[in-house]
């Protein structure tokens, strides 16, 4: 029996746990990257648990910190545009491919835009994925402006009346204001042609408290509508995503669980929450 | 995101200072503030608790001597800082070169940690020191990782050994093995092996990494870690240590604003030295690791050294020299100069980040948090929408030109007007400044720049001072970033 279940067994049916037990719970929650703020909120609520099943109550408390917003992709009348954004190396390009495969398998037509014109071989990477998944990739000439590639892709998908356009963007650290301005411009320029229905921020499950700053600043720049939490197939539990939901009310929409195009799942709150407090 | 940490800590030490005598309960209170700081910085719990206990024990042990001393808070702060530096830098060392070349460096780490970019940076770093590195494409997993390494190799002028196309085709162990023979015949004195990202829990891929290691028998296996990493750093570092094993650590993405507590966790847990830091997307954004800087960063204290360096990088070079010459000649400061300065500042990162690196930033927390970053972007976009002529001579800006600029920048004409007015006033002020004096802070602020941050505006005043002021102390820049650079020498 792991630490957490021991704790649960101990406070089960009792009105209070002793200080040591609270410390154990704190350790578990912090260890899942929930962060000090959310952890202390949860412990405060947990201290009010009276009787009943402690595990059920705790799960309930964690659930209350999830966003109430819809977790399904919104759909436009014309081509639905999805922008995929995030800091470097979180899994944006792979997630774009996975989303394309996911949407295509449900019968939709998809076009991809290779708007990462900065990182070495980023365009080739997306083109390789496009071939594998069987969708068209719009790419610009070398060194093209990301906004102009995105604009061309928007025009093209409108012509094709494609159901979806997914835009891969270059990784950027949120504290670089010039790169954030570039991202704003990509969105602005696409919106001359089509509405951007979703801006999905990709958060690596191994990310610590910096994830909150990422979500905050990307939201300020391009109004993030949902999260994709990647690399949940590893040992990280991705708790910072709950901290983001709680602090900024941005819903997790998908999770990534591997490197192949099928390793994407629609977010399932119950599994995620129980993963956070698993031993 | 200027969380309370640095202010908390500053506060903790300030309250210690205000006490006449420090008691053990003061130390307890300070320890709990430090604990909060470390938690916010992602320091692993298993590392933090014993760390705090050490601090407590050392502080308590020092208590008798402290009580007679004068600056007690400072003494405790030094205990904390020394302990952090000890852990972060205790085992510091440089790469071990092989007796018989080539020296082999193998990179390992999670997906997306930044290995491929780092391979290019390492290659450049050593090539610049007169070595002849060979890059080896053993990431045959991620789509176009091989192409990426080839592009990176080309841009640093280092050859890439890539006999297999990748994208799932080819055996990374064989490639690594062959690269050694290739390096020996071609007389490369260093081999840098890029490998695919892998999870700590993926036994099969970990075995592959072990096989690569066994095939090339590296002088150094470097574990590459993203500075943004959270509590999982412990599990992952353990898995890599028990799996492929590693001799040193490299921290990447330090140009972000993550505190980087993972560094402390991994250093403490594995006892392996952190050897390099990677801090930008350019292949020159790379340096050996400085434990003191990391210690300040984790504690959320000012990092003047890094700030000075970034300022130097951003403001250095021809542009600054040109501007100073212009000033010396008595030419006007123009909107083009202003734009260059704004761009240099953007390169340094967000304004709140820059301000936050200053010691005592905790006290200015509110102002820093409220600083509107987009103001700079807006100001820039207005200047960018001007023609070269307009930038040189704002007097030509009539109504229709202003309307066009506003349209181009996506702003209102009033915004253009107000920028031009403020700029003209600033320009006038600059002329006066040649006769000595500084920039009134209110003016710098009006230009979308916090007081004292008016990059070039306040930063080049010494140009026209020759012979006009008695040669007293060399004037320091009104720009804190530049000033920090000056003070660093
Ligand atoms: N195990 C695992 N690996 C993933 C997952 N998603 C992405 N990756 C891997 O993470 C690495 C980086 O993925 P990319 O899709 O290139 O990341 P990116 O965000 O586009 O990177 P940049 O464009 O360089 O910023 C690759 O090796 C991917 O295979 C996931 O859910 N699980
Ligand atoms: Mg990418």
CATH number at residue A27: 1.20.120.140
User: What's the CA gap between A212 and A196, in Å, rounded?
Assistant: 23
**Which segment of A233-237, B30-34, B139-143, B367-371 scores lowest on mean pLDDT?**
B367-371
How far, rounded to the nearest angstrom, does the alpha carbon of residue B131 sit from its chain's CA centroid? 26
Does the N-terminal peptide bond of residue A274 adopt cis geometry, omega within 30 degrees of 0? no
3-state secondary structure at position B107:
strand
- Do B227 and B365 belong to one domain? no
Say whether residue B384 is in contact with chain A using an 8 A CB cutoff. no
Query: Could you read off the pLDDT of A262-274 as tens digits, one per residue?
Result: 999 999 999 999 9
- Do A93 and A52 belong to one domain? no
- Nearest-Å Rg of the Cα atoms of chain A is 20
Query: Could you read off the pLDDT of A25-76 as tens digits, one per residue?
Result: 888 899 999 999 999 999 998 888 766 677 788 899 999 999 999 999 999 9
Q: A240: which 2 tokens?
A: 């910072």
- Do B44 and B192 belong to one domain? no
Asked if residue A71 is part of any domain, the answer here is no
The position carrying tokens 């260059």 is: B340
Give the ligand at the shortest distance from the Cα of A88: 1
Q: Work out the average pLDDT over B76-99.
A: 86
Task: Give the residue, B292 or A150, on which the prediction is more confident.
Answer: A150
CB hemisphere CA count around B303 (13 angstroms): 24
- Do A31 and A147 belong to one domain? no
Q: Which residues of B touch A122 (CB under 8 A)?
A: 148
Q: How many CB pairs under 8 A join A and B?
A: 166
CB-based burial of residue B158 (10 Å sphere; 0-12 exposed, 13-18 middle, 19+ buried)?
A: buried
3-state secondary structure at position B434:
coil
Bridging pattern class, strands B190-195 and B103-109? parallel
Asked if residue A74 is part of any domain, the answer here is no
- Do A47 and A121 belong to one domain? no
Task: Give the residue, B301 or B79, on which the prediction is more confident.
Answer: B79
Q: State the DSSP code for B169.
A: B
3-state secondary structure at position B303:
coil
Task: Give the residue, B370 or B90, on which the prediction is more confident.
Answer: B90
- Do B142 and B188 belong to one domain? yes
**Per-residue model confidence (pLDDT) at position A5:** 52
Average pLDDT, chain B: 79
Which residue lies with its CA nearest to atom 10 of ligand 1? B111
Total tally of structural domains belonging to chain A: 2
Which pLDDT band holds residue B376 (cuts at 50, 70, 90)?
Answer: confident
Q: B433: which 2 tokens?
A: 């400044």
Q: B206: which 2 tokens?
A: 């970990």
Helix (H) or strand (E) holding B160: strand B160-161
Query: Could you read off the pLDDT of B164-193 as tens digits, one per residue?
Result: 999 999 999 999 999 999 999 999 999 999
> Is pLDDT above 70 for B99?
yes
Q: Work out the average pLDDT over A102-122.
A: 96
Say whether residue A142 is in contact with chain B using an 8 A CB cutoff. no
Distance from CA of A198 to the nearest CA of B (A): 23
- Do B14 and B112 belong to one domain? no
- Do B260 and B117 belong to one domain? yes
User: What's the CA gap between A179 and A97, in Å, rounded?
Assistant: 23
Q: B278: which 2 tokens?
A: 């990677």
> Is pLDDT above 80 for B358?
no
Cα separations in angstroms, B120 against A163, B73, B124, B143, B193: 40, 44, 6, 18, 11
**Per-residue model confidence (pLDDT) at position B344:** 72
**Per-residue model confidence (pLDDT) at position B207:** 98
Asked if residue B283 is part of any domain, the answer here is yes
- Do A168 and A204 belong to one domain? yes
Q: Work out the average pLDDT over B95-122.
A: 96
User: What's the CA gap between B411 and B404, in Å, rounded?
Assistant: 10
**Per-residue model confidence (pLDDT) at position B15:** 67
A231 and B351 within 8 Å at the Cβ level: the answer is no
Cα separations in angstroms, B29 against A36, A116, B43, B84: 17, 49, 19, 19
B226 and A210 within 8 Å at the Cβ level: the answer is no
- Do A23 and A86 belong to one domain? no
> Is pLDDT above 50 for A123?
yes
Which pLDDT band holds residue A244 (cuts at 50, 70, 90)?
Answer: very high
Say whether residue B201 is in contact with chain A using an 8 A CB cutoff. yes
The position carrying tokens 């650590």 is: B249
Which residue lies with its CA nearest to atom 29 of ligand 1? A259
Bridging pattern class, strands B160-161 and B133-138? parallel
Say whether residue A79 is in contact with chain B using an 8 A CB cutoff. no
Q: Which of B202, B208, B264 is nearest to B231 (CA)?
A: B264
Indicate the residue of A121, A129, A207 with minimum beta-carbon distance to B228.
Answer: A207
Asked if residue A242 is part of any domain, the answer here is yes
Q: Work out the average pLDDT over B223-235.
A: 96
- Do A90 and A157 belong to one domain? yes
- Do B206 and B260 belong to one domain? yes
- Do A170 and A55 belong to one domain? no
CB neighbours of residue B329 within 10 Å: 9
Predicted-complex ipTM score = 0.92
Asked if residue A233 is part of any domain, the answer here is yes
Indicate the residue of B45, B155, B232 with minimum beta-carbon distance to A236.
Answer: B232
> Is pLDDT above 60 for B449?
no
Say whether residue A235 is in contact with chain B using an 8 A CB cutoff. yes
Q: B201: which 2 tokens?
A: 């829990």
Sheet holding B286-288, edge to edge: B160-161, B133-138, B190-195, B103-109, B220-226, B248-252, B274-278, B286-288
Cβ-contact B410, B381 below 8 angstroms: yes
Ligand 1, residue B197: give the atom nearest the CA.
Answer: 27
User: What's the CA gap between A215 and A207, in Å, rounded?
Assistant: 12
- Report H helices in B101-171: 115-128, 145-156
**Per-residue model confidence (pLDDT) at position B369:** 58
Indicate the residue of A173, A237, A259 with minimum beta-carbon distance to B256.
Answer: A173
A125 and B144 within 8 Å at the Cβ level: the answer is yes
Ligand 1, residue B199: give the atom nearest the CA.
Answer: 1
**Per-residue model confidence (pLDDT) at position B320:** 63
Q: B424: which 2 tokens?
A: 């003209």
The position carrying tokens 């006007």 is: B332
Cβ-contact B275, B287 below 8 angstroms: no
The helix, strand and coil proportions of chain B, stated in percent and rounded to the nearest 5, come to 60, 10, 30
Asked if residue B460 is part of any domain, the answer here is no
Cβ-contact B150, B208 below 8 angstroms: no
Query: Percent of chain B scored above 70 by pLDDT?
Result: 71
- Do A257 and A173 belong to one domain? yes
> Is pLDDT above 70 for B451?
no
- Do B149 and B226 belong to one domain? yes
- Domain encompassing residue A118: 80-277
Which pLDDT band holds residue A7 (cuts at 50, 70, 90)?
Answer: low
- Domain encompassing residue B400: 324-448+481-488
User: What's the CA gap between A198 and A175, in Å, rounded?
Assistant: 22
3-state secondary structure at position B215:
helix
**Per-residue model confidence (pLDDT) at position A223:** 97
User: What's the CA gap between A229 and A263, in Å, rounded?
Assistant: 12
Q: Is B200 in the pocket of ligand 1 (CB under 6 A)?
A: no
Asked if residue A228 is part of any domain, the answer here is yes
Closest chain B residue by Cα to residue A24: B45
B142 and A32 within 8 Å at the Cβ level: the answer is no
Asked if residue A73 is part of any domain, the answer here is no
Domain boundary among B63, B87, B111: B87
Q: Work out the average pLDDT over A205-230.
A: 97
Total tally of structural domains belonging to chain B: 3
CB hemisphere CA count around A194 (13 angstroms): 31
A118 and B281 within 8 Å at the Cβ level: the answer is yes
Asked if residue A273 is part of any domain, the answer here is yes
CB neighbours of residue B203 within 10 Å: 12
Which pLDDT band holds residue B476 (cuts at 50, 70, 90)?
Answer: very low
User: What's the CA gap between A124 and B457, in Å, rounded?
Assistant: 44
Q: B361: which 2 tokens?
A: 């930033």
3-state secondary structure at position B422:
helix
- Do A10 and A114 belong to one domain? no
Q: State the DSSP code for B166.
A: B
From chain B residues 328-357, the ones with a CB under 8 A of any chain A CB are 343, 346-347, 349-351, 353
φ/ψ of residue A161, rounded to 5: 45, 45
Domain boundary among B306, B332, B355: B306
Which pLDDT band holds residue B24 (cuts at 50, 70, 90)?
Answer: confident
Asked if residue B312 is part of any domain, the answer here is no
CB-based burial of residue B486 (10 Å sphere; 0-12 exposed, 13-18 middle, 19+ buried)?
A: middle
Cβ-contact B355, B489 below 8 angstroms: no
> Is pLDDT above 50 for B260?
yes
A36 and B36 within 8 Å at the Cβ level: the answer is yes
Domain boundary among B25, B53, B87: B87
Indicate the residue of B40, B259, B346 with minimum beta-carbon distance to A36.
Answer: B40
Query: Could you read off the pLDDT of B303-345 as tens digits, one per residue?
Result: 555 555 566 666 655 666 666 677 667 677 788 877 777 777 6
Q: Work out the average pLDDT over A4-22.
A: 54
User: What's the CA gap between A139 and A156, in Å, rounded?
Assistant: 11
Domain boundary among A63, A88, A104: A63
CB neighbours of residue B407 within 10 Å: 13
> Is pLDDT above 80 for B370?
no
Say whether residue A140 is in contact with chain B using an 8 A CB cutoff. no
The position carrying tokens 């037990």 is: A21
Query: Could you read off the pLDDT of A80-93 as tens digits, one per residue?
Result: 999 999 999 999 99
Q: Work out the average pLDDT over B142-158.
A: 96
**Per-residue model confidence (pLDDT) at position B471:** 36
Residues with Cβ within 8 Å of residue B193, at least 6 apart in sequence: B104, B105, B106, B107, B136, B138, B176, B179, B212, B216, B218
Give the ligand at the shortest distance from the Cα of A129: 1
For chain A, give the secondary structure using H, E and C: CCHHHHHHHHHCCCCCCCHHHHHHHHHHHHHCCCHHHHHHHHHHHHCCCCCCCHHHHHHHHHHCCCCCCCCCCCCCCCCEEEEEECCCCCCHHHHHHHHHHHHHHCCCCEEEEEECCCCCCHHHHHHHHHHHHCCEEECCCCCCCHHHHHHHHHHHHHHCCCCEEEEEECCCCCCCHHHHHHHHHHHHHHCCCCCEEEEEEEEECCECCHHHHHHHHHHHHHCCCEEEEECCCCCCCCCHHHHHHHHHCCCEEEEECCCCCCCEEECCHHHHHHHHCCC
Asked if residue A70 is part of any domain, the answer here is no
Q: B344: which 2 tokens?
A: 């240099």
CATH number at residue A118: 3.40.50.300
- Do A54 and A109 belong to one domain? no
Q: Work out the average pLDDT over B278-301.
A: 85
User: What's the CA gap between A85 and A91, in Å, rounded?
Assistant: 10
Rounded to whole angstroms, the maximal C-alpha distance in chain A is 67
> Is pLDDT above 90 for B145?
yes
């Amino acid at each position: 029996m792991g630490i957490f279940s021991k704790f649960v067994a101990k406070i089960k049916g009792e009105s209070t746990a002793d200080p040591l037990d609270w410390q154990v719970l704190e350790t578990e929650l912090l260890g899942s990257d929930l962060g000090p703020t959310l952890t202390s909120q949860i412990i405060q609520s947990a201290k009010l648990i009276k009787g009943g099943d402690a595990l059920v109550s705790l799960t309930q408390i964690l659930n209350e910190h999830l966003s109430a917003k819809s977790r399904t992709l919104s759909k436009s009348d014309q081509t639905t545009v999805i922008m995929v954004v995030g800091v470097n190396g979180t899994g944006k390009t792979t997630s774009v491919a996975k989303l394309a495969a996911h949407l295509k398998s449900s019968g939709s037509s998809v076009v991809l835009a290779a708007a990462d014109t900065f990182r070495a071989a980023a365009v080739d990477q997306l083109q390789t994925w496009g071939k594998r998944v069987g969708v068209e990739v719009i790419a610009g000439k070398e060194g093209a402006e990301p906004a102009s590639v995105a604009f061309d892709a928007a025009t093209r998908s409108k012509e094709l009346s494609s159901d979806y356009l997914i835009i891969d963007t270059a990784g950027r650290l949120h504290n670089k204001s010039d790169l954030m301005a570039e991202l704003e411009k990509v969105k602005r320029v696409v919106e001359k042609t089509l509405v951007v229905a979703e801006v999905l921020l990709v958060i690596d499950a191994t990310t610590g408290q910096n994830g909150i700053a990422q979500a905050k600043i990307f939201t300020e720049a391009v109004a993030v509508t949902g999260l994709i939490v990647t690399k949940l197939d590893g040992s990280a539990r991705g708790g910072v995503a709950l901290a983001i939901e709680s602090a900024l009310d941005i819903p997790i929409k998908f999770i990534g669980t591997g490197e192949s195009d099928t390793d994407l799942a629609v977010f399932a709150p119950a599994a995620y929450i129980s993963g956070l407090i698993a031993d | 995101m200027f969380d309370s940490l640095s202010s908390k800590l500053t506060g903790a030490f300030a309250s210690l200072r205000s006490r006449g005598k420090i008691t053990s309960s003061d130390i307890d209170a300070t320890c709990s503030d430090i604990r909060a700081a470390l938690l916010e910085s992602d320091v692993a719990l298993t590392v933090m608790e014993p760390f705090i206990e050490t601090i407590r024990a050392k502080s308590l042990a020092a208590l008798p001597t402290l009580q007679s001393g004068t600056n007690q808070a400072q003494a405790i702060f030094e205990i904390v800082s020394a302990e952090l530096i000890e852990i972060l830098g205790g085992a510091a060392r440089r790469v071990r070169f092989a007796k018989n070349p080539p020296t082999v460096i193998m990179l390992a780490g999670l997906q997306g940690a930044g290995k491929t970019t780092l391979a290019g940076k390492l290659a450049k770093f050593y090539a610049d020191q007169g070595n002849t590195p060979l890059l080896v494409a053993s990431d045959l997993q991620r789509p176009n990782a091989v192409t990426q390494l080839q592009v990176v190799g080309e841009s640093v002028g280092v050859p890439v050994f890539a006999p297999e196309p990748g994208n799932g085709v080819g055996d990374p162990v064989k490639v690594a093995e062959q690269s050694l023979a290739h390096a020996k015949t071609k007389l490369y004195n260093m081999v840098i092996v890029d490998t695919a990202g892998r999870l700590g829990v993926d036994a099969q891929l970990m075995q592959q990494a072990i096989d690569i290691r066994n095939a090339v028998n590296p002088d150094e296996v470097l574990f590459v870690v993203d500075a943004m990493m959270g509590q999982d750093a412990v599990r992952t570092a353990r898995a890599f240590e028990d799996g492929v094993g590693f001799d040193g650590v490299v921290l990447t993405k330090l140009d972000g604003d993550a505190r980087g507590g993972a560094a402390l966790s991994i250093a403490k847990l594995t006892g392996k030295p952190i050897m390099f830091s990677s801090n930008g997307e350019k292949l020159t954004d790379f340096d050996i690791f400085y434990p003191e800087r990391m210690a300040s960063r984790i504690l959320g204290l000012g990092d003047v050294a890094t700030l000075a360096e970034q300022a130097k990088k951003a403001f250095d070079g021809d542009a600054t020299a040109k501007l100073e010459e212009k000033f010396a000649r008595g030419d006007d400061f123009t909107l083009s100069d202003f734009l260059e300065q704004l761009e240099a500042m953007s390169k340094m990162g967000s304004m709140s980040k820059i301000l936050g690196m200053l010691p005592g930033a905790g006290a200015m927390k509110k102002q820093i948090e409220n600083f509107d970053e987009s103001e700079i972007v807006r100001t820039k976009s207005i200047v960018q929408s001007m023609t070269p002529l307009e930038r040189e001579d704002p007097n030509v800006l009539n109504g229709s030109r202003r309307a066009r600029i506003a349209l181009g920048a996506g702003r209102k004409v009033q915004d253009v007007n107000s920028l031009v007015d403020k700029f003209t006033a600033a320009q006038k002020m600059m002329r006066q400044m040649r006769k000595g004096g500084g920039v009134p802070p209110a003016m710098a602020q009006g230009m979308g720049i916090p007081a004292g941050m008016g990059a070039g505006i306040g930063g080049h005043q010494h140009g026209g001072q020759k012979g006009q002021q008695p040669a007293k102390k060399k004037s320091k820049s009104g720009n804190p970033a530049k000033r920090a650079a000056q003070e660093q020498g």
